[in-house]
Amino acid sequence: MTLNDRKKHTALIRPVMGNFARNEWAILGGPCTVIKFLADQVISALSPDYQCAYADTSHNDDIIGLPGKLASGAALEYIDQLNHSQLNYKAALTPFTQRELFLAMDLVLVNGNHQQARAQIVIIDINKRASLQRRLDQLSNVELFLFADNASEVPDFIQEALPNWQKIPTLKLNNDTPQIINFFKNKLQQARPVLNGLVLAGGKSARMGYDKGAVNWYGKEQRYHMADLLKKYCDEVFISCRDAEQQQQIDNSYLSLPDTFTNLGPYGGILSAFREHPDRAWLVVACDLPLIDEDVLQHLIANRNTATIATAYKSDHNDFPEPLITIYEPKSYPTLLQFLAQGYSCPRKVLINSDITLLQPARPDALANVNTPEEMDRIKRIIDQKIANTNAS
């Protein structure tokens, strides 16, 4: 083996990200005042349904004094305003810090005259022709042309730089505002994360005394019954297990996923799923919730809110979220890691302290779990009665 053959670091699957977030567009080619006004219109229209952000650079070329306590030597200043919070940094943000700050955003619009983004919206304005020509190297993924009132065709230098320019849609900057807003709305709908399913079956079942995932409630082991239920709603379904040894016990007709974050219980299973597919959303269901059925899953999925980091049910015995039947969006992955870095491995604590969508359970007892033989007897009576009622009808 040569030195070049050695892999120094573990190859991780990285989420698809730009400079700020997953869905970002730089608007360039027009005056900054026009770009800011357009961003205002789009954000105002989409903010009721999506988390929106804007990024720019100050025009002020003069050296100005540092704000607040930064002038006294502080590296960071936090101010809790009445209607917003403010953070002032002395050091420049790295790309990694930028992504961390924007991780919850569904849409980021960028003034492309000063910042770059993974996709671009190009304003065609005769008065800004020279400025746009200087930025040709930034046009890596143009998705829309907007014609100012003084322009009607794509300049020749753009045509030469973009072989596919004729396939890129065009709109009027000042006359087609609803269509411009719909362009972004459609893009966000298309970017809605695909939903995977994860059956948490890696617990040691210490209180029960035997593997709860292997209990037969509905004619097959519960982990397989739950996986079959999720297959109706998810692109792929995995059975989460503790390790390779437990993985060998799972029927190979089902996809399985051993924990790579070990000894963390359900938290490790969820993180391991995101490590495998960081751009997927995960519908996580524990195998010890035997009363979950299609109605419960359908209600959760129908009310899924991708603008929050997760969609969860309230627990059936308190007002806290139930983390073991929850849809975790991709934006929850870094949040889970941040809590872990602070010494917390409780998914409920993450949900309680994050922006989530919280639903009332579809019916009483729907989220009842089984941890003891006594609970098992009670739930079995409920299931037997449910099956009897179904057969009678």
- The pLDDT of 243-255, averaged and rounded, is 87
CATH class of 195-389: alpha beta
Q: At the top level of CATH, which class does the domain 24-56+93-190 belong to?
A: alpha beta
Say if residue 12 is exposed, middle or buried (CB neighbours under 10 Å; 0-12, 13-18, 19+).
exposed
3 state SS for 151-218: CCCCCHHHHHHCCCHHHCCEEECCCCHHHHHHHHHHHHHHCCCCEEEEEECCCCCCCCCCCHHHCECC
CA 280-257-232 angle, to 5 degrees, is: 55
CATH 3.40.50.300 placement within the chain: 24-56+93-190
Between 130 and 219, residue with greater pLDDT: 130
Instruction: Indicate if the pLDDT at residue 372 is higher than 60.
Output: yes
Residue 193 has pLDDT above 90, yes or no: yes
Provide the pLDDT for residue 6. 59
| Amino acid code (one letter) for 229 | L
Q: What is the pLDDT of residue 209?
A: 45
- Residue 304 is predicted with a pLDDT of 98
Q: In the structure, what pLDDT confidence band is assigned to residue 317 with cuts at 50, 70 and 90?
A: confident
Q: Which of 254, 306, 253 is nearest to 280 (CA)?
A: 306
C-alpha torsion angle, residues 284, 288, 292, 298 (rounded to 10): 0
Q: What is the band of 187 on the pLDDT scale with cuts at 50, 70, 90?
A: very high
Rounded CA separation 138/115 (Å): 10
**In this predicted structure, what is the pLDDT of residue 213?**
62
Q: Which residues of 107-122 are buried (b: 16+ CB within 10 A; e: fewer)?
A: bbbbbbbebbbbbbbb
Residue ranges, CATH 3.90.550.10, the chain: 195-389
How far is 29 from 32, CA to CA, in rounded Å? 9
Contact call for residues 112 and 135 (beta carbons, < 8 A): yes
Which stretch of 47-61, 217-231, 242-256, 369-383 has the lowest confidence by average pLDDT? 369-383
Question: pLDDT value at position 61?
Answer: 59
User: Helices H, strands E: what count in the chain?
Assistant: 12, 15
Section 143-164 average pLDDT:
96
The pLDDT value given to residue 247: 85
Local structure of 301: helix, strand or coil: helix
Mean pLDDT of the chain: 90
Report the pLDDT averaged over residues 228-248. 92
The Cα 212–Cα 208 span in angstroms is 7
Query: Once rounded to an integer, what is the mean pLDDT over residues 209-215?
Result: 60
**How many other C-beta atoms can be found within 10 angstroms of the C-beta atom of residue 344?**
14
- Amino acid identity of residue 326, one-letter, is T
Strands of the chain (E only): list them. 24-28, 52-55, 76-80, 85-89, 107-111, 119-124, 142-147, 170-172, 195-200, 237-241, 255-258, 281-286, 310-314, 321-328, 357-359
Taking only the tens place, the pLDDT of each residue in 30-50 is: 999 999 999 999 999 999 999
Span 45-84, pLDDT tens digits: 999 999 999 999 987 655 677 888 999 999 999 999 889 9
The model's confidence at residue 383, banded by pLDDT at 50, 70 and 90, is: confident
pLDDT of residue 20: 96
Mean of pLDDT values over 183-198: 98
